[in-house]
Amino acid sequence: MRCGVLYSGGKDSTLAALVLEPFYEVTLVTATFGIADVVAPGRRAAEAVGLGFETIDLDPTIAEAAVERMVTDGYPRTGIQRVHEHAVETIADAGFPAIADGTRRDDRVPTIDRSVAQSVEDRFGVDYLAPLSGFGRDAIDALVEQHLRVETGPSEAIPKADYETELRALMREEHGAETVADVFPEHTQSRVVGRR
């Protein structure tokens, strides 16, 4: 069965794909608002692990609304959650019988709880899979270490194929770099450069 995995080029979504690989015909799918070039880093990471790659288009009005929400809130959580659900619904509507993402047990955001998962499955007629949702942070770190080659660095320095990159770019354009720095806590990003 074909499975489209929402793909950021980072370690979580790549590991999610590796868990599914023995059971599904996996395609890595980078979702883009068309605001920043997230397709190139997604394709590069997909090639580095030797899996198929596609892109899907997200609705830019969702990005606008999410950025305004994050600036009003002063933190990104609610906006990110809304964008993630939009991305899941978009890939669910893209023709794959199964879809997946890299959400993890210990993530606070984004999360897809059981009721949201079942709602997506019912509305779009797909299986929604969260292969890392049964793994804690330490287990995931150990599996990444064993199976992937990863480059890490600050968010601004590591080209990622995720909507956070685009939301930051849009926020920078509309509210300035200082607002981005205020709203998004600096954290280390990872980019997959191959398998081990």
Longest CA span, the chain? 46
Judged by CB under 8 A, does residue 115 bind a second copy? no
Least Å from the CB of residue 17 to a second copy? 12
Q: Which one of 44, 82, 147, 172 is in contact with a second copy (CB under 8 A)?
A: 147
Place of tokens 């997230």: 38
Closer of 114 and 187 to a second copy (Cβ): 114
Find residue 150's DSSP bridge partners.
192
Judged by CB under 8 A, does residue 105 bind a second copy? yes
* Number of chain positions touching a second copy (CB under 8 A): 29
- Distance (Å, whole) CA 195 – CA 182: 35
- Distance (Å, whole) CA 19 – CA 155: 26
- Distance (Å, whole) CA 155 – CA 51: 24
Least Å from the CB of residue 4 to a second copy? 14
Phi, psi of 95 (to 5 degrees): 100, -5
Judged by CB under 8 A, does residue 186 bind a second copy? no
Site for a second copy in 17-46 (CB under 8 A): 18-19, 22-23
Judged by CB under 8 A, does residue 136 bind a second copy? yes
Least Å from the CB of residue 110 to a second copy? 14
Burial of 57 (0-12, 13-18, 19+ CB in 10 A): exposed
- Give contact residues for a second copy (rule: CB under 8 A): 1, 18-19, 22-23, 98, 103, 105-106, 114, 117-118, 121, 127-136, 138-139, 142-143, 146-147
